[in-house]
């Protein structure tokens, strides 16, 4: 792993209540039987010939050529007639927009300003003209990525985290804070906070921590990892080797990789206590040591963006500046547990937990679960 001690028709004839609404907007014309067919778009002619001019006793010279305009077909009526369904459709559109933007995430929202920000089709972290520009992405997202230092009984664990609410909720890897006696967080501007562990999920290697006394922070925008494709450009931000705010870039090199990590706290502390690398299994091979007998496997995004010890828990970001993953594991060229963390570096095999997995797990983490 990577801490160094640290992806949316045509309307059919409406039925039920909605169908009644449309019938109200377009009342059906009732026509008496006639020898010739009647165009349903026009009402039957009036029972009496219309008159023209101020004196009703003197009919117009050519009444058939100048029939009085029926009220339903006046200019004003033509303007008013479609207002019913247009207003209805507008209302439906407004409701649909509100539901579409909030349903999937409503159960996770906090009150007031402290809400998790999820991406939408109308806003973007990075302007469209700057899409994919690494410098712009880094400038926009770096304030949402923090460094985490956990004090353990056997030493310290350094990793990264992603701010998801303005009052200091932070998502990171479980292995970064597992067994921590205290947790210190430093933001991109150098401000330090003490943090409390809110909930953990070792089966997904996720944890939620909360800063004490924090407000006005810049939350990251969580994207949709379901739309991620191999070859997509990505940017990684974290604190490798304690170097806060380090930015690297690359592409998504594979999807749905089965990454196996240790869920045993003692095993993780043992690894963290030495050189900042921690074990994981991929493709039937062990990396950075032995994962032990207690393990869990999750589907990961594979990237060639450079990840190093300390990137664990940091952000994997798409070209629009949305978070699509939480960096969690890296292949280390050095497998000797006695080597120093400086010998460990990225060789193009890094893994991130998809952000959709994180979003689906937030409610559990906020409940205080410590599984």
Q: Distances from the Cα of 132 to the Cαs of 65, 88, 129, 311, in angstroms?
A: 67, 40, 9, 21
Which two tokens mark 369?
């679960």
The alpha carbon of 110 is separated from its chain's Cα centroid by a whole number of angstroms, namely 16
Work out the end-to-end distance of the chain between its first and last CA atoms, rounded to an integer number of angstroms.
Answer: 20
Q: Of 312, 328, 332, 341, which one is the catalytic site residue?
A: 312
Which two tokens mark 347?
């060789």
Distance CA 240, CA 315 (A): 12
Q: Of 118, 175, 262, 320, which one is the catalytic site residue?
A: 175
Residue 123 CB neighbours (<10 A): 9
Which two tokens mark 240?
């490798």
Task: Find out whether 50 and 68 touch, Cβ atoms under 8 Å.
Answer: yes
Query: Does the active-site annotation cover 175?
Result: yes
Q: Of 201, 205, 322, 361, which one is the catalytic site residue?
A: 205
Q: Give me the phi and psi of 149, to 5 degrees please.
A: -120, 115
Distance CA 370, CA 202 (A): 8
Task: Find out whether 259 and 280 touch, Cβ atoms under 8 Å.
Answer: yes
Task: Find out whether 233 and 251 touch, Cβ atoms under 8 Å.
Answer: yes
Which two tokens mark 288?
């950075």
Active site (catalytic) residues: 175, 205, 312
């Amino acid at each position: 792993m990577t801490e160094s001690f640290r992806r949316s028709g045509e309307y059919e004839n409406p039925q039920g209540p909605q169908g009644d609404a449309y019938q109200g907007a377009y009342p059906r014309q009732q026509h008496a039987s006639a020898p010739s067919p009647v165009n349903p778009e026009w009402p039957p002619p009036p029972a009496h010939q219309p008159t023209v001019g101020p004196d009703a006793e003197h009919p117009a010279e050519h009444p058939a050529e100048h029939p009085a305009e029926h009220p339903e077909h006046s200019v004003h009526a033509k303007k008013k007639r479609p207002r019913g369904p247009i207003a209805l459709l507008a209302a439906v559109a407004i409701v649909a927009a509100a539901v579409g933007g909030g349903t999937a995430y409503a159960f996770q929202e906090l009150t007031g300003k402290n809400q998790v920000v999820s991406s939408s089709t109308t806003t973007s972290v990075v302007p469209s003209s700057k899409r994919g520009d690494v410098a712009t992405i880094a400038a926009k997202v770096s304030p949402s990525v923090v460094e985490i230092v956990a004090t353990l009984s056997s030493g310290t664990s350094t990793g990264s985290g992603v701010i998801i609410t303005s009052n200091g909720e932070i998502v990171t890897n479980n292995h970064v804070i597992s067994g921590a006696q205290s947790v210190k967080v430093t933001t991109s501007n150098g401000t330090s906070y003490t943090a409390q562990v809110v909930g953990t999920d070792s089966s997904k290697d996720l944890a939620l921590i909360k800063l004490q006394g924090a407000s006005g922070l810049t939350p990251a925008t969580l994207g949709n990892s379901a739309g991620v494709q191999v070859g997509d450009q990505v940017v990684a931000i974290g604190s490798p080797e304690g170097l806060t705010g380090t930015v690297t870039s690359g592409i998504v090199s594979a999807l749905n990789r089965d990454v196996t990590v240790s869920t045993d706290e003692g095993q993780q502390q043992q690894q963290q206590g030495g050189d900042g690398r921690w074990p994981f299994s991929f493709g039937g091979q062990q990396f950075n040591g032995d994962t032990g007998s207690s393990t869990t496997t999750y589907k990961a995004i594979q990237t060639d963006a450079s990840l190093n010890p300390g990137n664990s828990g940091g952000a994997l970001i798409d070209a629009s500046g949305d978070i699509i993953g939480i960096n969690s594991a890296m292949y280390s060229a050095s497998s000797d547990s006695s080597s120093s963390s400086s010998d460990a570096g990225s060789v193009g095999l890094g893994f991130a937990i998809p952000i959709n997995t994180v979003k689906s797990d937030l409610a559990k983490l906020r409940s205080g679960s410590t599984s």
